[in-house]
Chains A and B, each alone.
Chain A
């Protein structure tokens, strides 16, 4: 049909410190995947992985952007922020490791499970980060 290399792209702004809006980008992606008829289990993996990355950008980095590209083979999500960066990625990836302040913990975040969950649900996870500059989290889920 000559459509096989078509890509759907969508960009979102992740607002700083607004928990009520956090998760909107991943909900919108979830809706698109449902409209495409992607199996529920895959939709769930994408939306949880993206949700965690989105929330991280809100809590730890003062917001950022999310770029989503969907094609026949995969969903590629790139979350960029200009926050403090992650000094030790290996440590940050450990279950239970968190630097979230108490105020955030009270809202039910800060269990240190976000990054490990992303790793679990994504087919590929790539984190580029520089202290003082920012972080880029790239998640790939195969369709």
Chain B
């Protein structure tokens, strides 16, 4: 899959070319051109902020349709922990997981279970004490991509352990191959996703060559089907599918990953703009006394994901029930731990210098100088009518050759005005042979007279 694959895309028909998304985008990755929003692929981090703010629902996430599971003989759902907060009708975890079987899945494995294994590995890593403090969680791929484009000096602080989603897929496949003698190519594992960022992680992973997950189906898309299925699953028909404990389920909320680490010395921040503030502090060498920083792009954590259905605060209340249940009937299940997985990333994320004006330092200097001159000349109203999020961004676009000064409506008006004055002046001039009162004969005088 190409490096610039993005789940977040535009629905041309619905887009009105307003300024809502360009203003909210944390990496200034959107411009309006010809009345439609355009996403700059190099800059997009798939945080889904534009999906949330678009009043016309013109921003969408590319996910896989449920039908995709038919391409595989044996179909496995791996739901994100967020799923537990979505349904009032779910009596228990087993009830909810059993409902997936009515949708055509042969097996369900909770990402929450894998999250616990990742928590264990993180604890082990932190015990060794030879890590760059503070460790920044990699649970949210949108934040990892944000660091790549805006905070390269923090790349070394990222926790480079496999995500619970990837690990879940690996465990399921290994188990089925080993215990059920299945062929790996017959098994299709599908993540039930709360967001676009995770979809991009599957189609274009940064931490490995290829994802273990075969597709991503959004919670939104299967919500109704699941709801119906929940109604059909009788209590006595519930299967014993639950494997996760409360620590894994808690990953769905901001703070959940941190709480599983057994240290109070953590900071949990959610909402992409809040995350940026914290990363800025980190870049200034503040917060060195903190061991672990949990950074989630969505407000409230994954429960607030752009592809979820239930209101964040309602979902928070709902998931509490599942956490409490898991605390009470904790399942003894160590099957996954015996695999001794190596969770380290097989490749590192790279800096993507989106801000750089030119590869050549001197040319970049020159461009920066021009940028500053243009910038000072623009009105500074940040109105967005030019299609850029603010005047500075327009100046940058001009220097990069992607826009013109007259894209600014105020600049354009100035130009029109100057032109009008010029035209009026020319209009009042007469060829000397026709000029009866000889007004134009002395041209240097003319300006002073009017």
Q: Which residues of A contact B (CB under 8 A)?
A: 1, 3-4, 6, 8, 10, 23, 26-27, 30-32, 34-37, 40-41, 43-44, 47-48, 51, 70, 72, 108, 117
Contact = CB atoms under 8 A, between A and B. Distances in A.
Task: Give the contact-size bracket for chain B.
Answer: 20 to 34
Interface of B: 152-153, 155, 280, 283-286, 351, 353, 355-359, 361-369, 371-372, 396
B280 A3 contact: no
Nearest to B150: A34
A108 to B, nearest CB: 7
Contact of A47 (B284, B356, B363, B367): B284
12 contacts: A8-B369, A8-B372, A10-B372, A26-B284, A27-B280, A32-B368, A35-B368, A36-B361, A36-B368, A37-B356, A37-B358, A41-B153
B365 A47 contact: no
Given A6-B366, A8-B365, A40-B152, A51 B284 contact: yes
A117 B288 CA distance: 13
B284 A36 contact: no
Main secondary structure of the interface of A (DSSP, over half): helix
A3 B364 contact: no
Given A41-B153, A43-B153, A44-B153, A35 B364 contact: yes
Contacts of A48: 283-285
A40 B153 contact: yes
A46 to B, nearest CB: 11
Which 5 A-B residue pairings sit nearest by Cβ, starting from the closest? A40-B152, A37-B356, A34-B355, A44-B153, A40-B153
Nearest to B396: A35
Contacts of B368: 8, 32, 35-36
A117 B284 CA distance: 11
Given A34-B355, A47-B284, 6 more contacts: A6-B366, A8-B369, A35-B356, A36-B357, A48-B284, A70-B365
Given A3-B362, A4-B362, A27-B280, A35 B357 contact: yes
B364 A37 contact: yes
A34 B353 contact: yes
Contact of B364 (A26, A31, A36): A36
B283 A35 contact: no
A110 B115 CA distance: 39
B371 A37 contact: no
B350 to A, nearest CB: 11
Contact of A40 (B286, B351, B358, B367): B351
Given A23-B284, A44-B153, A37 B353 contact: yes
Contact of A3 (B286, B351, B365, B396): B365
Contacts of B359: 37
Nearest to B151: A40
A48 B366 CA distance: 25
B283, B351, B396: which has the most chain A beta carbons within 10 Å?
A: B283
Contacts of A10: 372
Contacts of B285: 48, 117
A35 B355 contact: yes
A11 B339 CA distance: 59
B360 to A, nearest CB: 9
B283 A44 contact: yes
Contacts of A108: 286
Contacts of A36: 356-357, 361, 364-365, 368
Contacts of B152: 40
Nearest to B399: A35
A43 B150 CA distance: 12
Nearest to A113: B285
Contacts of B364: 35-37
A35 B359 CA distance: 10
Contacts of B155: 40
Contacts of B369: 6, 8
Given A48-B284, A108-B286, A72 B361 contact: yes
Contacts of A70: 365
B322 to A, nearest CB: 37
